[in-house]
């Protein structure tokens, strides 16, 4: 019996596959899901028999974002004390490559964890978006900084400030994902790439990933820390309470007039 409740793990040759398995909640993230996904990927990272990892979801959703019932209960004290959303950052720090294989919804935390991966393969049903601004917070899993790093300030600003979603074709066009593929081909293509990587010399792969990340992400860390503290602070605002309550109650939010 698996030690995990909300994910499954599988080995295919030298490739380790972690799959979200919370379909009743569209693979939404709560503390346990976040911990399980991160821990499973770290276990594969430490496994000498694994050369590359894939993170996948279900048919309808890769990961539809944070579980509202869980995250809406946070306040500044609890968010700051527990360093809310920081644990998952370890995905971005793994030494071995990780490929996100995305189908269906990947909103909020789903977009953020895919951006923590080294490549993103998305099929034609994939939908990305950092929608947190519509709930009175900002994306707390590093989304603003990582999206800006991937696609530039102008595009990142548009999607973060509007909360609008975009499909795989647009994500490929702006440079956020590695490849947009036909409906249902995401895992197949991800597996082909992962197998190629896993069969390359291990030390060279690790060194190449480190070299690319050093150039691409060196300015990222201060931005991540600032964004996370702003994320925590927004849990003390009336707009956050109203935004998440309105979402849960399926009504239009009535935000404070400033």
pLDDT score at 216: 83
Tokens coding 173: 């066009």
Q: Is residue 50 part of a domain?
A: yes
d(CA 105, CA 111): 9
**Signed CA dihedral, 108, 61, 158, 238: sign only:** negative
Pairing state between β 98-102 and 119-123: parallel
What contacts 182, CB < 8 A, 6 or more positions away? Answer: 123, 124
pLDDT score at 225: 86
pLDDT score at 90: 97
**Catalytic residue ranges:** 66, 109, 112, 132
Q: Is residue 165 part of a domain?
A: yes
Burial class (CB in 10 A: 0-12, 13-18, 19+), 210: exposed
Q: Is residue 66 part of a domain?
A: yes
Structural domain span for residue 16: 7-183
pLDDT score at 1: 43
In degrees and rounded to multiples of 5, residue 6 shows phi and psi of: -115, 10
Q: Enter the DSSP assignment of 175.
A: T
pLDDT score at 100: 98
Q: Is residue 131 part of a domain?
A: yes
Instruction: Kindly list the averaged pLDDT for each block of 10 residues, start to end, along the chain of length 258.
Output: 88 98 97 97 97 97 94 91 94 97 98 98 98 95 95 97 98 98 98 97 93 82 85 92 93 86
Burial class (CB in 10 A: 0-12, 13-18, 19+), 20: buried
**Signed CA dihedral, 139, 241, 80, 226: sign only:** positive
Our count of domains for the chain comes to 1
Q: Is residue 204 part of a domain?
A: no
Q: Is residue 14 part of a domain?
A: yes
Residue 39: give its domain's CATH number.
3.90.226.10
pTM value is 0.90
Among 90, 16, 46, CA closest to 206? 46
């Amino acid at each position: 019996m698996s030690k995990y409740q909300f994910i499954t793990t599988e080995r295919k040759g030298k490739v380790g596959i972690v799959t979200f398995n919370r379909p009743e909640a569209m693979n939404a993230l709560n503390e346990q899901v976040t911990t399980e996904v991160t821990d499973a990927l770290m276990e594969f990272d430490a496994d000498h028999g694994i050369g590359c990892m894939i993170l996948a979801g279900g048919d309808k959703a890769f990961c539809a974002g944070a579980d509202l019932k869980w995250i809406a209960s946070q306040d500044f004290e609890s968010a700051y004390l527990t360093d809310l959303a920081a644990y998952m950052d370890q995905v971005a720090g793994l030494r071995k490559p990780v490929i996100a294989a995305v189908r269906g919804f990947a909103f909020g935390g789903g977009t953020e964890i895919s951006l923590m991966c080294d490549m993103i393969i998305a099929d034609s049903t994939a939908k990305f978006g950092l929608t947190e601004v519509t709930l009175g917070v900002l994306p707390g899993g590093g989304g603003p900084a990582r999206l800006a790093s991937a696609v530039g300030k102008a595009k990142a600003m548009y999607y973060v400030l509007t909360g609008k979603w975009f499909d795989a074709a647009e994500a490929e066009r702006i440079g956020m994902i590695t490849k947009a593929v036909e409906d249902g081909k995401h895992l197949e293509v991800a597996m082909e790439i992962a197998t190629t990587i896993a069969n390359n010399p291990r030390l060279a792969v690790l060194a190449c990933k480190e070299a690319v990340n050093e150039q691409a992400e060196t300015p990222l860390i201060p931005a991540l820390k600032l964004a996370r503290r702003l994320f925590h602070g927004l849990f003390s605002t009336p707009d956050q309470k109203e935004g998440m309550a309105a979402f849960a109650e399926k009504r239009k939010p009535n935000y404070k007039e400033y």
